[in-house]
Amino acid sequence: MSGGAANGGVLRVGNCSGFYGDRFSAVREMLTGGPLDVLTGDYLAELTMLVLGRDRLKDPSLGYAKTFLRQMEDTLGLAHARGVRVVANAGGLDPAGLAGALRDLAGRLGVPVRVAHVEGDRLPLPAGALTANAYLGGAGIAACLDAGADVVVTGRVTDAALVTGPAAARFGWAPGDHDPLAGAVVAGHVLECGTQATGGNHPFFRRYDVRRPGFPVAELHPDGSAVITKHPGTGGAVDVATVTAQLLYETSGARYAGPDVTARLDTVRLTQEGPDRVRIDGVRGEAPPPALKAGITRLGGWRNEVVFVLTGLDVDAKARLVEEQVEDGFARAGTRPADVRWELARTDRADAATEETASALLRLVVRDPDPEAVGRAVTGAAVELALGSYPGFHVTAPPGRGAPYGVFEAVYVEPGTVTHTAVLPDGRRVPVPHPAATRPLAPVPEPPLPPPLPPGPTRRAPLGLVAGARSGDKGGDANVGVWAETDEAWRWLAHTLTADRLRDLLPETRPLPVARHVLPRLRALNFTVAGLLGEGAAARARFDPQAKALGEWLRARHLDIPEVLL
């Protein structure tokens, strides 16, 4: 791969998608906004695999991200004219099908691009599974680029593989080059969620113009170091805080494992190099773990939801009444769903000036293997109350028949059961060997903490006045990364926010295992809350099924903060 020679050996990799459904115009914006060597797009989340699996049940010819094909119809000629290679995991469950569609598209448009794809991630389906895919690394992408591909599409690869593949191809890294590969993994993790690296979803969003943030770019160097930036004139910002937030997103301990390498997040060093330029260096890598992570999705059953609106006085009594009435309706029908959950959100205010702000929401969520149990039974139990329940009875929407929900499960498989294959532009199929050297994962001992702040006056205040946070999901577990922006705040945070204190601040986590990981170079703590999300985001068992706002809830909690920090 020869890209990057014109800019002093630097490989410029941009991102144009953080999920299936991201900004459609981002491909064109990234191609026209500034110089690039490679444009990547991440279209696959755990939930997306379930969506694509359900698509294939309806039509076996489906299974890839159709949006990507439409984006290429608009921009394939532009990418070719500018010499930008495109690497995306939009192939989903059918990368060969997407590659064929791209060749047909290129023929219709008269654009002479060479298309390749990576496959081999599909696993034999366990009983009852809808999809089963291993997470592959970037070596197959590198093989396709080395063979001259202009466009490479993949199935399930790690998000960071979209960057490690092009970097390994450009710089000739071998599987044992753990440190540079780890640097590329970190850069790839920063890029993978698009505008989350440029101020999107940021706890300190008021600092930035995030009305339309630009997508990020990584300038990668042969030693694996990188500078995160964005195209000139685009919205948002790139600073240490935006990069820190994305680094902590959906990670856990100091070892960030993948099929290419295990990156040591406790070695990452961030430096503000200039406006909208953050250097990442110092990253150390280790051999990848011996097993490959795989994701299995299933249809878990059927789900329904009703939200009752409770207005004015006696909200708690109204909630008790409707719960008793619905439960009585289940009993009389002889069909109670297997899982019944009630949640009262006190969104009401006393002496409210509008009806909406005088109202609370009582949410009923039911799940069952039988669609009848969540359909007619729930509809009847709720609708029959319309004229005989609490005063002001109404719901946000009429209850429907219910819908299927999915379940995600993470498992680990032997690499020998997976045939990682690069299908080159000329059709040759090249097996991609797994790294020969591996290293079992082990926890990193907690490093020494900085000295605590000296005693002094405190004030009761929200944690978010002195700390940032970002949270997300990994299957049924939630991750919350918390960081301080000054050394003084870090001295206080490191000693104050223990796993037990987190449980106190977030009572929903009290019965669950909570692990704390310390990352001193980032002045950060990363917490993993096991089982908070039940069977995962697709099951939608929780109000915030992907834990996206868990960090903001934590920042809103009050505790005694030293006045010197405030």
Give the residue from 378, 396, 431 where a domain finishes.
431
Which helix (H) or strand (E) segment is 521 a member of?
none
Output the pLDDT for position 347: 94
What is the CATH classification number for the domain harbouring 341?
A: 3.30.70
Indicate if 400 and 491 belong to the same structural domain. Answer: no
Q: Give domain status of residue 485, yes or no.
A: yes
Instruction: Count up the domains in the chain and report the number.
Output: 3
Task: Name the region of 168 (left: φ>0; alpha: ψ -120 to 50; beta: rest).
Answer: alpha
Q: Give domain status of residue 79, yes or no.
A: yes
Output the pLDDT for position 249: 96
Indicate if 43 and 107 belong to the same structural domain. Answer: yes
Q: Give domain status of residue 449, yes or no.
A: no
Indicate if 383 and 314 belong to the same structural domain. Answer: yes
Q: Give domain status of residue 26, yes or no.
A: yes
Q: Which residues are CB-contacts of 232 (< 8 A; sequence separation ≥ 6)? A: 33, 34
Indicate if 176 and 236 belong to the same structural domain. Answer: yes
Instruction: Compute the distance between CA of residue 226 and CA of residue 183 in angstroms, rounded to an integer.
Output: 7
Of 97, 78, 115, 92, the residue nearest 17 (C-alpha): 92
Give the residue from 374, 392, 407 where a domain finishes.
407
Output the pLDDT for position 475: 84
- Residues in a beta bridge with 482: 469, 525
CA 297 vs. chain centroid, Å, equals 16
User: 3-class DSSP state for residue 501?
Assistant: helix
Q: What is the DSSP string of 440-493?
A: ---PPPPPPPPPPPPP--EEEEEGGGT-EEEEEEETTEEEEEEE-SSHHHHHHH
Burial of 274 (0-12, 13-18, 19+ CB in 10 A): exposed
Q: Give domain status of residue 451, yes or no.
A: no
Q: Give domain status of residue 444, yes or no.
A: no
Residue ranges in the chain whose pLDDT is less than 70: 1-8, 537-539, 541
Q: Are 292 and 161 spatial neighbours (Cβ–Cβ below 8 Å)? A: no
Q: Give domain status of residue 437, yes or no.
A: no
Indicate if 208 and 307 belong to the same structural domain. Answer: no
Q: Give domain status of residue 15, yes or no.
A: yes
What residues make up the domain containing 318?
A: 296-407
Indicate if 248 and 304 belong to the same structural domain. Answer: no
Entry pTM: 0.94
Of 185, 305, 265, 269, the residue nearest 519 (C-alpha): 265
Q: Which residues are CB-contacts of 532 (< 8 A; sequence separation ≥ 6)? A: 476, 477, 478, 508, 509, 512, 542, 547, 550
Indicate if 315 and 227 belong to the same structural domain. Answer: no
Indicate if 326 and 384 belong to the same structural domain. Answer: yes
Output the pLDDT for position 3: 40
Q: What is the DSSP letter of 366?
A: E
Instruction: Compute the distance between CA of residue 228 and CA of residue 218 in angstroms, rounded to an integer.
Output: 5
Indicate if 155 and 281 belong to the same structural domain. Answer: yes
Instruction: Compute the distance between CA of residue 542 and CA of residue 310 in angstroms, rounded to an integer.
Output: 21
Indicate if 197 and 82 belong to the same structural domain. Answer: yes
Indicate if 169 and 314 belong to the same structural domain. Answer: no
Indicate if 339 and 287 belong to the same structural domain. Answer: no
Residue 456: CB atoms within 10 A of its CB come to 9
